[in-house]
Amino acid sequence: MTFKHEQQIPPVIWAVVADRSRARILAAPWPDATSWEEVRDLVHGEGELTPQEIDTDRPGSFASPRGGYHTGEDRKDFRHQSAEHFATEIVGVLESGRLAGEFGKLALVSPPLFLGVLRKELSGPLEQMVVLELHKDYTHAPLPDVAAHLSDGLAEVTRDEG
């Protein structure tokens, strides 16, 4: 007799509440996600800095083929590059938690621009775990307020599934 091995999904949901400079990872039992607790708090110092605070040198000077000199400007978008670095760090924490079986569902709460960057970094298995996305910035809101917004959003999701 052969038994099909089915992967057990942990009865826990994690919520990533993030912007470019801070990410809070919250956990709650699933499907009754009413009692949330903070399990990680990640701070990305670069997210608060301006490009002038990082690049203190003036643009470089280059010789022109026709003679004379011109200055070169850096063409990188510092804010976007910083957001990508932080999103990669957040996804690394999520992957570690997923592989350790710490959660089975995932909610993403972030301003729309950072949510797009974060979504782009997610692996296939993490994408499949996402059950809720809120396009809001609650990174500095008190935990009870964030928990209320998450519980309301998840109640709608579970009601629509049922």
User: How does pLDDT run across 17-26, given as a tens digit for each residue?
Assistant: 999 999 999 9
For 6-57, write each residue's pLDDT tens digit.
567 789 999 999 999 999 999 999 988 889 999 999 998 654 545 554 454 5
Cβ neighbors of 74 (< 8 A, separation 6 or more) are 55, 59
Judge whether 21 and 112 are in contact, CB under 8 Å: no
Is 71 within a domain? Answer: no
Number of domains into which the chain is organized: 1
Q: Which 8-state DSSP code applies to residue 45? A: G
Is 72 within a domain? Answer: no
CATH number of the structural domain spanning residue 155: 3.30.420.60
Is 89 within a domain? Answer: yes
For 64-108, write each residue's pLDDT tens digit.
666 666 565 545 555 577 889 999 999 999 999 999 999 999 999
pLDDT for residue 6: 53
Task: Give the domain extent around 150.
Answer: 12-47+77-161
Judge whether 46 and 84 are in contact, CB under 8 Å: no
Q: How many CB atoms are closer than 10 A to CB 79?
A: 15
Is 7 within a domain? Answer: no
